[in-house]
């Protein structure tokens, strides 16, 4: 049976745990996205450097 | 109405009158001749070279030029990401503005190193003063990079066979210190005396007539606005760009800023004539560009001054033209003029909201970016035009049975392949990414509902405009688009990056390959490239390529919207 007290308890537990998880997940995805985007830009620059020789030999 | 037209004529006349001597001055700088600025700025140049450990007299091949260009941009990319993602922890942040998330920092960094200045943030709340100063630095650097690349091509076009094409760092530093910096100082002082803020103090407060306390953003705006216009950058200090009185206080500053938008791109053409000692060729290029510019400008001014047909149908008089999204102090004509000058060049600053233009004016603004070579950006505008000249030389040579030669060098399959790849890359990036976004929106309109306020033809125009602006390194926006989300930040960032450096590498490669070829003096069999006939040929090539590439997309957007208003 779920009474008001239980609901409050669940909410309190969630309220205690959720922000930490949320912050951790957010931080993780933030770092992941940063790394992915920097790698994407580096790949683009690698393509540009390669394209110099490509255009020379085309 | 006559006053508005006279205002436009005055702006254009002053622009040409200033561009001719400035072109001669730029030509002297790239030729290594002495100028009146040497005494003041030589020590500054030497200081930069000493700090960087650069030997400015060392000659470079075209490949070394491009390697240097790409290397410094890669370094600036990493530097900018670090600053923008850590602004809240760094100094010069009196308003406590937050750091940028990764996708927005990615977009903003590429936007500013590519001379695009597409802004998916608002300057007042999205960037600290340190961030603004970093972006301002990139406004100098990106413009200087474009001019340096153009200087290499100018140098190559001289009548000789060589692999020694000057020094990239020398061209780059001199473009910044001799051209961009002095012009920016003059413009910044004009803006300052007309009321544009230049301070490091945080937000100011005042109590309105209603008794509310209002926070007013300010900062080192005058300096940033000067280089934003001089360097065809376009990125404003404030969110509403040059439509906000702090960036563009009155009609006089509007004229000054508008002249600055086209000044250096136009001067680069005259610099070409000075360096090559071929003034007639420079005038042919200038006239072709001006013809294209007028093809977009005249109908735009007409449509904006005529008013919006939808409002006319409501029985509302529009004596001042279509004024939705425009500043009363500038009027419909000056807003349309700015709209076209900012899009034919790769500037992208706005003094009115392009989303509110009548449909065909919006189309002409897009066409200016799709063509991207009628004046174009500082340096890169000529590089784009150069690609079309190569194509035109080849086609017209085949048509009339003459040797396809350009300035004494034979155009062969290799140069044509590069020119074609570069000409089609711009089209491909715009259409492919617009297709992708349209497919995503049409497939799941509920999920992507935040993207578009108007899901019809106008909504399609907004998406097409965004990618056109990104690919043209323009940076203006239709602004009805909800573009501050990861999808738009990342895709536009990639488009800006690809469309910045490949179109620089291609023309410099063509020029470098041509420079190594044997110089062939002009003969009776040579196709003349400094004639009106050749100018018309180049114009036709540009327009045909643009029409074939973009007409279907424009039909779905602004053209369909135009007929729906009838």
pLDDT, tens digit, 9 for 90 and up, residues A3-56:
444 444 444 444 445 556 666 677 888 899 999 999 999 999 999 999 999 999
CA distances from B194 to B4, B191, B222, B256, B357 (A): 21, 5, 10, 11, 28
B102 vs A33, A51, A56: nearest CB: A33
Is residue B406 helix, strand or coil?
A: strand
Rounded to the nearest angstrom, the gap between the alpha carbon of residue B355 and the centroid of all alpha carbons in its chain is 19
Are B496 and A42 in contact by the 8 Å Cβ rule? The answer is: no
**What are the phi and psi torsion angles at B483 (to 5°)?**
-100, 0
CA distance B342 to B4: 18
B67 touches chain A (CB under 8 A): yes
Domain boundaries, chain A: 1-58
pLDDT at B543 over 50: yes
Span B8-36, average pLDDT: 95
Q: How far is CA B262 from CA B227, B274, B449, in A?
A: 13, 19, 38
CA distance B375 to chain A (A): 25
**Contact (CB, 8 A) for A39 and B493:** no
Angstrom distance (rounded) from CA B341 to CA B422? 23
Query: What is the average pLDDT across B456-464?
Result: 94
Question: What pLDDT shows up at residue A19?
Answer: 58
What mean pLDDT comes out for the span B448-473? Answer: 93
Side-chain half-sphere CA neighbours of B331 within 13 A: 19
B418 and A38 within 8 Å at the Cβ level: the answer is: no
Residues contacting B446, CB < 8 A, separation 6+: none
Cα B295 to Cα B281: distance, rounded to the nearest angstrom:
21
Q: Do A56 and B509 touch (CB under 8 A)?
A: yes
Q: H helices of B32-128, where?
A: 38-52, 62-84, 102-113, 123-126
Phi, psi of B207 (to 5 degrees): -105, 125
Long-range contact list for B55-61, CB < 8 A, 24+ apart?
A: B55/B167, B56/B167, B56/B169, B56/B170, B56/B173, B57/B167, B57/B170, B58/B167, B59/B164, B59/B165, B59/B166, B59/B167, B60/B164, B60/B165, B60/B166, B60/B167, B60/B168, B61/B163, B61/B164, B61/B165, B61/B512
Q: Give the tokens for residue B460.
A: 């399609």
| Measured CA angle at B351 (ends B13, B259), to 5 deg | 20
- What is the band of B520 on the pLDDT scale with cuts at 50, 70, 90? confident
* Average pLDDT of span B30-58: 91
CA pair distance B166, B160, nearest whole angstrom: 14
Contacts of B467 (CB under 8 A, 6+ apart): B429, B430, B433, B434, B437, B491, B492, B495
Nearest CA in chain A to B69: A49
Q: Cβ(B116)–Cβ(B351) under 8 Å? A: no
**What is the Cα–Cα distance from B473 to B111, expressed in whole angstroms?**
8
What is the percentage of chain B residues whose pLDDT exceeds 70? Answer: 100
CB count, 10 Å around CB of B398? 10
Interface of A with B in 6-45 (CB under 8 A): 30, 33-34, 37-38, 40-42, 44-45
Cβ-defined contact of A30 to B67 (cutoff 8 Å): no
Domain layout of chain B by residue ranges: 2-564
Asked if A37's CB is within 8 angstroms of B490's CB, the reply is yes
Three-state DSSP at B352 gives coil
What gap in Å lies between CA B99 and CA A36, rounded to an integer? 19
Instruction: State the ipTM, two decimals.
Output: 0.92
Mean pLDDT of B50-66: 92
Kindly tell me the sign of the dihedral angle through the C-alpha atoms of B370, B371, B377, B379: positive
Q: How far is A23 from chain B (nearest CA, A)?
A: 14
Q: Which of B191, B76, B53, B198 is nearest to B137 (CA)?
A: B76
Give B277's pLDDT tier (boundaries 50, 70, 90).
very high
Q: Which residues of B touch A34 (CB under 8 A)?
A: 81, 85, 102
**Mean pLDDT value of segment B167-188:** 95
What's the gap in Å between the CA of A47 and the closest CA on chain B? 9
A vs B: CB pairs below 8 A: 57
**What is the rounded distance in angstroms from the CA atom of residue B335 to the CA atom of residue B327?**
8
Contacts of B491 by beta carbon, 8 Å cutoff, 6+ apart: B433, B436, B437, B467
Beta strand pairing call for B213-216 and B405-406: unpaired
pLDDT digit string, tens, across residues B419-459: 999 999 999 999 999 999 999 999 999 999 889 988 889 99
How do residues B131-145 score in pLDDT, each as one tens digit? 999 999 999 999 999
Model confidence pLDDT, tens digit, residues B285-298: 999 999 999 999 99
Q: Is B513 in Cβ contact with A56 (below 8 Å)?
A: yes
Taking an 8 Å cut-off on Cβ atoms, the answer to whether A45 and B103 are in contact is: no
The candidate with the shortest Cα–Cα distance to B110, out of B508, B504, B506, B491, is: B491
Q: Between chains, do B103 and A37 touch, taking CB under 8 Å as contact?
A: yes
Whether the per-residue pLDDT at B336 is higher than 70: the answer is yes
Give the closest-approach CA distance of A16 to chain B in angstroms: 26
Per-residue DSSP letters for B412-479? -HHHHHHHHHHHHHHHHHHHHHHHHHHHHHHH-TTTTTTTBS--SHHHHHHHHHHHHHHHTT-----S
Q: How many CB atoms lie within 10 A of CB B58?
A: 13
Rounded Cα distance, B385 and B368, in Å: 13
* pLDDT above 90: percentage of residues in chain B: 83
Q: Tell me how far apart the alpha carbons of residues B289 and B294 are, in angstroms, rounded to a whole number.
A: 9
Phi, psi (rounded to 5 degrees) for B206: -145, 160
């Amino acid at each position: 049976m779920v009474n008001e007290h239980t609901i409050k308890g669940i909410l309190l537990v969630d309220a205690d745990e959720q922000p930490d998880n949320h912050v951790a997940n957010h931080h993780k995805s933030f770092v992941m996205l940063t790394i992915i985007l920097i790698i994407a830009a580096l790949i683009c620059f690698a393509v540009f450097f390669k394209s110099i020789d490509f255009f020379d030999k085309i | 109405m006559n006053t508005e037209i006279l205002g436009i004529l005055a702006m254009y006349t002053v622009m040409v009158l200033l561009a001719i001597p400035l072109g001669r001055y730029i030509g002297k700088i790239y030729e290594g001749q002495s100028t009146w600025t040497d005494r003041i700025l030589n020590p500054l140049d030497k200081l930069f070279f000493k700090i960087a450990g650069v030997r400015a007299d060392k000659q470079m091949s075209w490949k070394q030029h491009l390697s240097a260009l790409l290397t410094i941009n890669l370094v600036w990319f990493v530097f900018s990401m670090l600053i923008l993602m850590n602004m809240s922890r760094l100094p010069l942040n009196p308003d406590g503005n937050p750091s940028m998330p990764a996708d927005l920092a990615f977009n903003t960094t590429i936007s500013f190193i590519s001379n695009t200045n597409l802004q998916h943030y608002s300057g007042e709340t999205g960037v600290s003063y340190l961030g603004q100063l970093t972006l301002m630095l990139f406004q100098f650097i990106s413009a200087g990079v474009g001019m340096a690349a153009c200087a290499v091509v100018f140098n190559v076009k001289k009548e000789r066979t060589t692999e020694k094409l000057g020094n990239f760092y020398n061209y780059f530093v001199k473009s910044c210190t001799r051209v961009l910096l002095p012009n920016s100082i003059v413009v910044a002082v004009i803006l300052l005396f007309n009321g544009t803020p230049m301070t490091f103090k945080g937000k100011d407060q005042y109590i309105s007539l209603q008794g509310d306390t209002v926070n007013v953003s300010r900062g080192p705006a005058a300096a940033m606005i000067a280089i934003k216009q001089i360097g065809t950058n376009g990125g404003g200090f404030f969110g509403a760009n040059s439509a906000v009185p702090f960036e563009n206080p009155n009609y006089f500053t509007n004229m000054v800023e508008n002249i600055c938008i086209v000044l250096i791109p136009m001067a680069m053409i005259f610099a070409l004539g000075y360096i090559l000692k071929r003034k007639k060729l420079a005038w042919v290029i200038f006239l072709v560009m001006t013809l294209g510019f007028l093809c977009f400008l005249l109908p735009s001014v007409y449509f904006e001054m005529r008013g919006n047909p939808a409002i006319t149908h409501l029985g509302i008089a529009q004596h001042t033209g279509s004024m939705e999204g425009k500043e009363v102090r500038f009027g419909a004509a000056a807003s349309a003029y700015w709209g076209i000058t900012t899009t034919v060049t790769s500037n992208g600053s706005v003094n009115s909201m392009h989303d509110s233009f009548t449909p065909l004016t919006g189309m002409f603004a897009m066409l200016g970016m799709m063509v991207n070579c009628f004046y174009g950006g500082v340096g890169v505008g000529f590089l784009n035009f150069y690609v079309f000249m190569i194509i035109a030389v080849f086609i017209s040579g085949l048509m009339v049975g003459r040797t396809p030669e350009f300035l004494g060098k034979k155009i062969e399959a290799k140069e044509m392949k590069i020119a074609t790849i570069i000409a089609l890359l711009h089209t491909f990036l715009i259409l492919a990414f617009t297709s992708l976004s349209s497919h995503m929106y049409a497939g799941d309109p509920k999920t992507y509902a935040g993207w578009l306020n108007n899901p019809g033809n106008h909504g399609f125009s907004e998406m097409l405009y965004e990618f056109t602006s990104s690919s043209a390194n323009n940076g203006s926006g239709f602004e009805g688009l909800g573009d501050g989300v990861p999808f738009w930040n990342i895709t536009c960032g990639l488009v800006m990056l690809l469309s910045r450096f490949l179109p620089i590498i291609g023309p410099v490669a063509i020029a470098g390959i041509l420079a190594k070829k044997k110089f062939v003096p002009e003969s009776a069999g040579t196709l003349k490239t400094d004639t009106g006939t050749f100018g018309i040929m180049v114009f036709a090539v540009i327009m045909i390529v643009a029409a074939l590439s973009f007409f279907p997309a424009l039909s779905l957007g602004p053209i369909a919207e135009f007929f729906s208003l009838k």
